[in-house]
Amino acid sequence: MSTLQENPPPSSRRGPIIDPDYNFGSVTDKISSIVLTPGTHMGWWLGFGASFLLVMVMLWSIAVLFARGIGVWGLNVPVGWAFDITNFVWWIGIGHAGTLISAILLLLRQDWRTSINRFAEAMTLFAVSCALLYPLLHLGRPSYFYFLIPYPATHGVWPQFRSPLIWDFFAVGTYGTVSLLFWYVGLIPDLATLRDRARNRYAAIIYGILAMGWRNSARHWMRYQKAYLLLAGLATPLVVSVHTIVSFDFAAGIVPGWHVTIFPPYFVAGAIYSGFAMVLTLAIPLRAAYGLQGLVTERHLDNMAKVMLTAGLVVAYGYLMEAFMSWYSGNVFEQYVMLNRLQGPYRYTYWALLICNIIIPQLLWSRAVRSSPIALFILSLIINVGMWLERFVIIAVSLHRDFLPSSWDMYTPTFWEWSLYIGTIGLFLSLLFLFIRLLPMISIFEVRELLVEEAHRESE
Partner 1 sequence: MTTAAHSPAIENWRPPARRAAAIAFVVGAALLGLCLILALFAPQRVFQAYLYGYLYWWTATMGCLALALLHNLTGGAWGSAIRPFLYGGIATLAVLAVMFLPLTLGLPQIFEWAHFERFDPALAQDDPILADKVNHYLNIPFFLVRAVVYFVIWFGAAAIARRGARRASALALSMVILGISFASIDWGMSLEPHWFSTIYGGLFLAGGAVSAMALSIVSVGALSPPLLPHDRRSADVTNDLGNLLLAFVMVWTYFSFSQFIIIWSGNLPEENVWYLRRSVHGWQWVAIAIALFHFAAPFLLLLSRDLKRNPKTLMLVALGLLVMRSIDLFWIIVPAFENHGWTGFLLDFLALAGIGAIWVGVYCWSLKPLPEAGRHHAKRSAKRKGAVA
Contact residues: partner 1, CB under 8 A: 1-4, 6-10, 162, 164, 240, 244, 248, 251-254, 259-265, 313, 317-318, 320-322, 325, 328-331, 365, 457, 460
Nearer to partner 1, 40 or 163 (CB): 163
Element holding 12 (H helix, E strand): none
CB 313 to partner 1: min, Å = 6
CB 162 to partner 1: min, Å = 8
CB 42 to partner 1: min, Å = 45
CB 242 to partner 1: min, Å = 13
Nearer to partner 1, 10 or 152 (CB): 10
Nearer to partner 1, 184 or 319 (CB): 319
Q: Give, in order, the Cα–Cα distances in Å from 102 to each of 61, 227, 274.
A: 34, 14, 16
Rounded distance between C-alpha atoms, residue 119 and residue 434, angstroms: 12
Rounded distance between C-alpha atoms, residue 377 and residue 280, angstroms: 6
DSSP 39: S
DSSP string, 218-279: HHHHHHHHHHHHHHHHHHHHHHHHHHHHHHHHHHTS--TTT--TTHHHHHHHHHHHHHHHHH
Distance from the first to the final alpha carbon of the chain: 21
CB 254 to partner 1: min, Å = 5
CB 15 to partner 1: min, Å = 16
DSSP string, 47-116: HHHHHHHHHHHHHHHHHHHHHH-GGGS---SS--SSHHHHHHHHHHHHHHHHHIIIIIHHHTT-GGGGGT
Nearer to partner 1, 191 or 269 (CB): 269
Nearer to partner 1, 281 or 303 (CB): 303
Nearer to partner 1, 48 or 248 (CB): 248
Nearer to partner 1, 122 or 171 (CB): 171
CB 314 to partner 1: min, Å = 9
Residues whose CB falls within 8 Å of the CB of residue 65, separated by 6 or more in sequence, listed in order: 72, 73, 137, 416, 420
Nearest to residue 145, comparing CAs of 159, 131, 156, 128?
Answer: 159
